[in-house]
Amino acid sequence: MTERIVEISRRRLLRDVASGLGVAALANLLSADQGPGQPGLPHFAPRAKRVIYLFMSGGPSQIELFDYKPKLAEWRGTDLPDSVRMGQRLTGMTATQTKFPVVQSLFRFQQHGQSGAWVSELAPYTAKVVDKLTFIRSMHTEAINHDPAVTFFQTGFQLAGRPSIGSWLAYGLGSENQDLPAFVVMISATDGGDQPLYDRLWGSGFLPTRYQGVKFRSSGDPVLYLSNPEGMTAKVRRRFLDDLGKLNQMQFEEVGDPEIQTRIAQYEMAYRMQSSVPELTDLSREPESTFELYGPDSRKPGTFAANCLLARRLAERGVRFIQLFHRGWDHHNNLPEKIVKVCKETDQPAAALVQDLDQRGLLKDTLVVWGGEFGRTVYCQGKLTPEDYGRDHHPRCFTIWMAGGGLKPGLTYGTTDDYSYNIVENPVHVHDLHATILHLLGIDHTRLTYKFQGRYFRLTDVHGSVVRELLA
């Protein structure tokens, strides 16, 4: 018996058998891949039905982008005072550094929109949509290295093994689309040299594997093994499935295992995916204006821009959790040069996505999140020259933004000190962010649990509180 049948037995069988519905009919109730979610969920009326999470892997510098610190200009080159650092642990990369000269952003800041949010010249498109965004300048985390820090954001725990946030939502809320997975992941193509990603970041941990994220790829099959081999047309495949279904049905009649019915249904779902996924990824019917909005990269498969556009199309089709990863934010050296490049790749498409969702009336029930796994230090890593500097990892404060689904637009929340080193007001921990995201989806984060090894596990472990000030 598979997990699926176990679940039927637990949650439905007794109830439905009691009401006279047969086992064979039951299996047909569950034709969709990820099923209907858990009973009793959502816990209350959701503000958002789905999430698009734009993960900026590597750790974008808050100092260059959103956390304006004018005093740094006059302090340039001076050592970070011990009163600010307060013995904070450093990564092994700068722990042996003897000087910690602070350095200001090379990029100019300005206030934008009615909300007056500060955004640097690196993100002119984002600057235009600030009134739709909610900035959190007081994010903080516990990890100081990429692997544990990304894992922490994805699963609420620094070590691998727990379910990712998308898996929790697929498990809890199920799918709204019969033909697509509930949790889809897309990664911007890279020319190499960036921090690696890991399949486990969208894994299901101890949840059944059907809740894991399905990676949509920009080269080869968009979903692994999606395409029929050459020499087998869709028509032939249809015939194949009809015959296969007949044989499976005969076996069902022979042994009576409802699991066989589920398998027949899953083959049909696979067949539907063979047309729904290519239809989804086919951008040829998008009007010219779409490509103008998302920028020229959006025509190139595998770019962040193309993935943002796909994210909108997935959102339109009711996919629950859509996660984009974009690498290249790990600027230990040559920060000014590198950050310009990565902002060029991401600024316009991210802003376009918010605008596009808004125009289509989707932003009100879609939550968009933009952010990395940590921020960057105010002090310089490596050589400080007039044009060049680098910054190390900084977990104690950094900026993310969110938009849509039940948030207060135009709000900037949280304050850091003049060095953007410590939070002085309204800290938001990773667990708090998770709690807030779940809340917006109608989930009490303390009640979305899964029993494993004798314990009821949660995304937020035993922590986290909803940041109510962010809510509309």
Residues 342-361 that bind other proteins (CB under 8 A): none
- Which residues 25-54 are close enough to bind other proteins by CB under 8 A? 33, 38-40
Residue 19 in tokens: 């009401």
Q: Quick check: helix, strand or coil at residue 426?
A: coil
Restricting to residues 120-149, which ones interact with other proteins according to CB under 8 A? Answer: 144-147
The one-letter amino acid at 124: P
Any contact of residue 86 with other proteins (CB under 8 A)? no
Contact 373, 151 (CB under 8 A): no
Point out which span in 6-14, 102-110, 116-124, 414-422 binds other proteins (CB under 8 A). Answer: 6-14
CA terminus-to-terminus distance, the chain: 46
Q: Are 35 and 171 in contact (CB under 8 A)?
A: no
CB 223 within 8 A of CB 217: yes
Closer Cβ to other proteins, 395 or 409, answer by number: 395
The smaller minimum CB distance to other proteins, of residues 364 and 447, is found at 447
CB of 170 to other proteins, least distance (A): 12
Q: Which is nearer to other proteins, 434 or 445 (CB)?
A: 445
For residue 431, the 8-state DSSP code is H
Question: 175 to 214, contacts with other proteins by CB under 8 A?
Answer: 187, 189-200, 203, 208-210, 212, 214
Closer by beta carbon to other proteins, 110 or else 209: 209
Answer for which of 159, 234, 424, 472 binds other proteins (CB under 8 A) is 159
Q: How far is the CB of 62 from other proteins (least distance, A)?
A: 19
Site for other proteins in 292-331 (CB under 8 A): none
Provide the token pair at 146. Answer: 């990429």
Exactly one of 19, 114, 219, 284 binds other proteins (CB under 8 A); that residue is 219
- Cβ 12 to other proteins shortest distance, Å: 9
Q: Which is nearer to other proteins, 256 or 296 (CB)?
A: 256
Based on the shown chain and the rule CB under 8 A, indicate whether residue 91 belongs to the binding site for other proteins.
yes
To other proteins, the closest distance from the beta carbon of 184 in angstroms equals 13
Q: Closer to other proteins by CB, 262 or 303: give it.
A: 262
Spatial distance between the Cα atoms of 124 and 120, rounded to a whole number of angstroms = 7
Q: Which residues pair with 160 in a beta bridge?
A: 162
Q: Does 259 bind other proteins (CB under 8 A)?
A: yes
Residue-by-residue DSSP string for 8-60: IIIIIIHHHHHTT--HHHHHHH--SSSTT--TT-SSS--S-SEEEEEEETT--
* 3-class secondary structure, 254: helix
- Contacts (CB under 8 A) with other proteins, residues 224-253: 224-233, 236-237, 239-240, 243-244, 246-248, 250-251
**Are 316 and 322 a contacting pair, CB within 8 Å?**
no
Handedness of CA 302, 306, 311, 313 (dihedral sign): negative
Q: Which of residues 357-416 bind other proteins (CB under 8 A)?
A: 392-393
Closest of 300, 369, 365, 52 to residue 186, by C-alpha? 52
Report the nearest approach of other proteins to the CB of residue 78 (Å): 22
Among 443, 469, 468, residue whose Cα is nearest residue 458: 443
Map the footprint of other proteins across residues 439-468, applying CB under 8 A: 446-447, 451, 453-455
